[in-house]
Homo-oligomer: A and B are copies of this chain.
Amino acid sequence: MGQVPIPSHGESRHGEDEEKGFAPMSVLTSDDHAEGASVPPSQVDLGPAAALSCRECGERFPLGPIFACASCFGPLEIAYDFPTGDPEALRARITAGPQNIWRYAPLLPVPADVADHPNLNPGCTPLVRADRLAAELGVTGGLYVKDDSANPTHSFKDRVVANAVEAARAFGFTTLSCSSTGNLAGAVGAAAARAGLRSCVFIPHDLEQGKVVMAAVYGGELVAIEGTYDDVNRFCSELIGDPIGEGWGFVNVNLRPYYAEGSKTLAYEICEQLGWKLPDQLVIPIASGSQLTKIDKGLKELIQLGLVEDRPYRIFGAQAEGCSPVSRAYRDGHDVVRPVKPDTIAKSLAIGNPADGPYVLDIARRTGGAVEDVDDARIVEAIKLLARTEGIFAETAGGVTVGVTRKLLADGRLDPEATTVVLNTGDGLKTLDAVAGTTGPSATIRPNLDSFREAGLA
């Protein structure tokens, strides 16, 4: 479950000082990580990450646990000093790296020795050549499914949380935290356990039992909040502003600039798996929109570094009709995204006020893509289509991307003769309810051949 960080005045003021928004909350008093401690910027080693940069006004800030520009409240993102020189040398270095996202460490905000740290090591998930799905959809140019259900906790969240863990270590944080109603809770709990960090995850008190088990089994603090998910988020903002929250890394709030970069690895992997080539078209789900914008960022970096040929690609965003603020804005030709109240089975995409919505609109328009949505019935159909043709059981978010792909092909907006990559970002095991009502045995018979024949199965 993605969340929308609301850069409130209170939060960003927390870090305002002469260092342009970065205030070490305290100085380390021992050699080791100390509760509530942070690390002076000069001692922060996050590899090629050079600074934080405001996406709106461009102002730069030293690396620190902040997420909003002190001047304009715009979102901060990582600015890099990338390796220069021979692309072949960089490519060889990546290829020789581990079979996980850390092979791309030279392009991420992580220290060079990141692979030696205990970490869930997500990534290098299959890019499945989906010929049977392609045949059903009429795609002739090569259709691929990037299947991120293969990650350790079975969603793409492992990629972003793994990056947040490294930032937490770098800033001397000892508690990893988030608010969540799903995938993120498990990803944070598991990552903290492996890393030896304390975790404290906040959930609404009425969460389904299955999701509670998944969030609790890793043994961190799991705090149920009497209230809605919005109440949970508001409480987390309060906690960040309070002394209690010092030493706490909220992966998708004060660590968000680092966390979000994890999604770039989807772009890197797709291109490497295609033989260091850009796909022509990508269909990406939209929750906060961060994943889509970071995949675009990742593709641009590969071009900039000479790792892939510089040629056009088109990015398509996919939403559920019951939570489609970005596709509505796209359809209406607006630059601003009007918040909605979500009502869809695609709960991992149910963010009614997507923080990166305007950036998504810009990318879809700039690259010649589009943003589209599908209704819940078609999401279920698409989940079953993908399962039936490729043996991939996707989360509802995967139903959204496959369903939107089908719609865009029918409309002629996706080119069937172009190389197309569709993302599945989660696992059907986590959203069984979505398909339970329409899936079941084809027959129930007595244990004998006559009964088998009578059922028309022979």
Contacts and interface: CB of A to CB of B under 8 A. Distances in A.
Interface stretch (A275-283, A292-300, A364-372, A441-449): A441-449
Contacts of A121: 126
B387 A441 contact: no
Given A150-B150, A244-B449, A193 B390 contact: yes
B391 A214 contact: no
A436 B218 contact: no
Interface stretch (A82-90, A232-240, A334-342): A232-240
A223 B126 contact: no
Interface in A91-142: 99, 118, 120-121, 124, 126, 129, 131-132
B445 A217 contact: no
A403 to B, nearest CB: 15
A440 interface: yes
B218 A391 contact: yes
A26 B5 CA distance: 65
Contact of A217 (B213, B384, B444): B384
Interface in A417-458: 427-430, 432, 435-436, 439-449, 452-453, 455, 457-458
B190 A223 contact: no
Nearest to A244: B458
Interface in A155-209: 186, 189-196, 200, 203, 205, 209
A433 to B, nearest CB: 9
A447 B235 contact: yes
Given A152-B150, A239-B449, A393-B153, A99 B124 contact: yes
A444 B224 CA distance: 4
A432 B224 contact: no
A310 interface: no
Contacts of A393: 153, 186, 190, 214, 217-218
A383 B217 CA distance: 8
A62 to B, nearest CB: 29
A231 interface: yes
A312 interface: no
Interface in A227-255: 227, 231-232, 234-235, 238-239, 242, 244
Contacts of A153: 391, 393
Given A153-B391, A221-B457, A242-B449, 20 more contacts: A132-B196, A152-B391, A191-B391, A193-B390, A193-B391, A194-B391, A212-B439, A213-B435, A213-B436, A217-B384, A217-B428, A222-B440, A223-B452, A224-B441, A225-B445, A225-B447, A231-B447, A235-B448, A238-B449, A239-B449
13 contacts: A118-B131, A191-B391, A193-B388, A193-B390, A194-B390, A195-B391, A213-B440, A219-B387, A221-B443, A222-B441, A223-B443, A223-B452, A235-B447
